[in-house]
Amino acid sequence: MAKTVWVFPGQGSQAVGMGSDLADLAKDKFAEAEDILGWSVLGQCQSDESQLANTLYTQPCLYVIECILVDLLKAQGTHPDLVAGHSLGEYSALYAADVFDFAAGLCLVKRRAELMAQAADGAMAALMGFDRDELDQALATTEGVVLANDNSSAQVVISGTPAAVEAVMTGIKTKRAVKLNVGGAFHSPLMAPAAHEFDQILADVPFKTATVPVLANVDPTPTTDGDTLKKRLMQQMTGSVRWREISLILPEQGVDTVIEVGPGRVLAGLIKRTCRSLTLQNVETLEQVEAMQPSGKVPVECV
């Protein structure tokens, strides 16, 4: 039987105005988020692009919007067979799999964003159109830089010290190499101090058995075990996002449809490059949620 996976984008997919059409149906969720965060998600989503791109705001806003879309999809009887999320999106995936509740996840995301925003003295760069063997050799022989996001065969993100990132960027042939506008070396060993502090918080949060298998960033082997999912999440801040492997495992799991829940089509594009046979859909607006429900069914208020 064919299966559907829900995938959730992370930082970089945010867009000014996202979530505005969900305000009425999800007013209680937005109010709960404001109580936890101390600021309005909808307000930040209506701010300018540079403000929304601030890690402190980007990560909680994406989590809240994605969770609300999950609630609306489930309320109309739509459910995934598997879930996965890219970096921050893994928290939305865990919420979709009922591993923790909305408030617990948002508290984690809030603290994660704070710690990552404080990170300094690191750099990241996106590389496109490269020879994989040459890249692997450069990473193996250059101290202080690692593969942060293995997104597809044609696109990766490297992370580490500014000098080491620059050395790899200029040392191998690429179609395009772009430094990312971030202050820290996310998904690298340089995040260890922040990860250690975060893990102490994460350790106290109960993780329930997932209702559907989760494909984690650091280990895409599907699992529903709460303890395993927590251990994998603890490794995420310093570990690589193995998105290419997640994409490759989808057909092996019987998946034929990928629904990207959240703003943009970044993940759908990455998966399409790796698995061209899969059907790709995107749900980021109320209209798109309604398009997936049985004819004539009225959206249920998200509470």
What letters, b where the CB count within 10 A reaches 16 and e where it falls short, cover 50-67?
A: eebbebbbbbbbbbbbbb
Here the tokens at position 38 are: 């101390």
How many angstroms separate the CA atoms of 205 and 91, rounded?
Answer: 13
Here the tokens at position 224 are: 């529903």
The residues assigned a catalytic role are 87, 187
How many angstroms separate the CA atoms of 145 and 187, rounded?
Answer: 10
What letters, b where the CB count within 10 A reaches 16 and e where it falls short, cover 215-243?
A: bbbbbbebbbebebbbbbbbebbbbbbbb
Q: Write the CB contacts of 202 (distance below 8 Å, at least 6 apart in sequence).
A: 108, 230, 233, 234
Here the tokens at position 303 are: 């509470």
* Per-residue CA distances from 99 to 90, 92, 114, 150, 205 (Å): 11, 10, 23, 25, 10
